[in-house]
Amino acid sequence: MQQFLERIVKIILPRVRDFRGISPKSVDGQGNLSFGIKETSIFPEVSQEISKTPFGIQVTVVPKKVKRKEDAMEIYKEIGIPFARQEQKKKHG
């Protein structure tokens, strides 16, 4: 699983068109990270000639012995998960 996650982070996500990072909201209160990839064409192993129907993939990462979102976020950042920057809402007035 570590190799799969490493490939997702270093090879697959950089190939996603207009990718700006995974939303920090994708991490739930227990520290589980879930995100989807809409197209499998970015996976070099998937032959486009064989796969006639486009499909996506849902990835869920469940860290062991982590009970808080903050602790999981630190681990994910160490691994190199590319999180999107949260934009602060502008105040009108």
**Helix/strand number for the chain, H first, E second:** 3, 2
Could you read off the pLDDT of 27-65 as tens digits, one per residue? 999 999 999 988 777 777 766 676 677 778 899 999 998
Could you read off the pLDDT of 1-18 as tens digits, one per residue? 888 889 889 988 888 888
What pLDDT score does 89 carry?
Answer: 53
Q: pLDDT-derived band of residue 92, with 50, 70 and 90 as boundaries?
A: low
Q: Which two tokens stand for residue 12?
A: 């697959």
Domain boundaries, given as residue ranges, for the chain = 2-79
The CATH class, in words, for 2-79 is alpha beta
What pLDDT score does 88 carry?
Answer: 52
